[in-house]
Amino acid sequence: MFDLLLRRARLADDTLTDIAIQDGKIAATGDSAAPARQTVGL
């Protein structure tokens, strides 16, 4: 389980993707179906 999941975050190249945060670091990117303690839709 991730700490934070940012849904539809915009990257520098204008790509929209999910970003998963674990222990203060980016743990995964892409369409993530993994659960998170907190989810933020952007």
Q: Name residue 14's amino acid.
A: D
**pTM for the predicted model, two decimal places:** 0.85
Burial class (CB in 10 A: 0-12, 13-18, 19+), 13: exposed
Whole-number Å distance between alpha carbons of 26 and 13: 18
User: pLDDT tens digit string along 10-35?
Assistant: 999 999 999 999 999 999 999 877 89
* Cβ–Cβ < 8 Å for 26, 7: no
Token pair, residue 2, equals: 């991730």
Model pLDDT, residue 33:
73
Cross-strand partners of 38: 4
